[in-house]
Amino acid sequence: MRNKRSVTLFVMSMMAPALFLGAAEPASAIPLLDRVLSKVKKEPDAEKGKDKKTPALGGVDELNPEKASKIEKHLKLGDMFFKRRDLTNAMLEYEDVVKVDPDNFKAHFMLGKVLMAMSDFEEALKEYEKLTELRPTSGDAHYMKAEALRMLGENDKAIDGYEMSLKVDPRRALAHAYLGECYRTKGDYRLAVKECKDAIKLDDKLVLPHLVLAKTYAVTRLEELSDKHYKKAIALDPRDPVTRVQYGVALGQAKKWNEA
């Protein structure tokens, strides 16, 4: 794993700060991937078993004390580096965990997050596919697998992943919002609107469903509704320049130059 990634690791790590700052836009033109990564629970499903007999970190309790201690050390270091946005060292620490414990859920989960931040969506997908094999009932695993697929333009497969995550956790508002984005991209505007409205019902503070609705209504020539949702998205996050730029572009396309 490490040998293959080391060829492009430096270049991708140089790209990473822009992603964390929201400067890069995903393939779908919805610039919120970095925010999604921060919203996904910092402690994935693996941590839910901490007070039970189920191993909390994907098998640590089944290992001898020396290996368990080594895993804990590398996980802590990986988390520290990831928090500092030092993606290269974070990746190396999580890979060290996988060497000792190949089925460690958290290590694979965090490797996926690191790779997503580096825009290496193909490698990230491999990590999330591993997670869905390790734990088929993990909503986080299915959700992040869907995210990687969406970023690769695999919308049909991404839809399946988001739906799987919603079977586990029906109140995952972002899954509904990104389902809406996938349907919008496919041209299924009725389902796009439905999913975004479901997302807003679950979390009325989310920017994403309003952006998707604005784009959907613009295509279907419902300009007043489009304008309403662009303004709502801006009101929810006034400091986000990308949302304002997208609204300006939409106004320009509608030939409303004075407002743009």
What would the 3-class secondary structure string for 71-93 be?
Answer: HHHHHHHHHHHHHCCCHHHHHHH
How far is residue 105's CA from residue 82's CA, in Å, rounded to a whole number?
Answer: 17
In the chain, the percentage of residues whose pLDDT exceeds 90 is 60
DSSP class of residue 22 equals: T
In total, the chain counts a number of residues equal to 260
Q: Give a yes or no: residue 234 inside a domain.
A: no
Structure tokens at 257: 């130059």
Provide the residue type at 78 as one letter: G
Strand locations in the chain (E):
none
Domain for residue 209, yes or no? no
Instruction: Identify the band that residue 241 occupies on the pLDDT scale cut at 50, 70 and 90.
Output: confident
pLDDT-derived band of residue 86, with 50, 70 and 90 as boundaries? very high
**Rounded to a whole number, what is the distance in angstroms from the first to the last CA of the chain?**
48
Can you give the residue range of the structural domain that contains 34? 1-23+30-127
pLDDT at 171: 94
Is 84 within a domain? Answer: yes
Cα separation, 230 vs 245, in Å, equals: 10
Would 255 be classed as within a structural domain?
A: no
Residue 127 clears pLDDT 70, i.e. is over it: yes
The contacts found for 249-255 with CB under 8 angstroms, 24 or more apart, are 250/214, 250/215, 250/218, 250/226, 253/218, 254/218, 254/223
Residue 247 domain flag: no
The pair of structure tokens assigned to 105 is: 């859920």
- Joined together, the tokens standing for residue 116 give 């997503």
The number of distinct structural domains making up the chain is: 1
The pTM of the full predicted model, rounded to 2 decimals, is: 0.74
Q: In the predicted model, what is the mean pLDDT of the chain? A: 80
**179 pLDDT band (50/70/90 cuts)?**
very high
With respect to residue 79, please indicate whether it lies within any of the assigned structural domains.
yes
Give the residue from 148, 33, 153, 238 showing the smallest Cα distance to 162: 148
Would you say residue 121 lies in a domain? yes
The answer to the question of residue 109 being in a domain is: yes
Token code pair at residue 140 = 């986080």
Helices 121-134 and 105-117 cross at an angle (nearest 10°) of 160
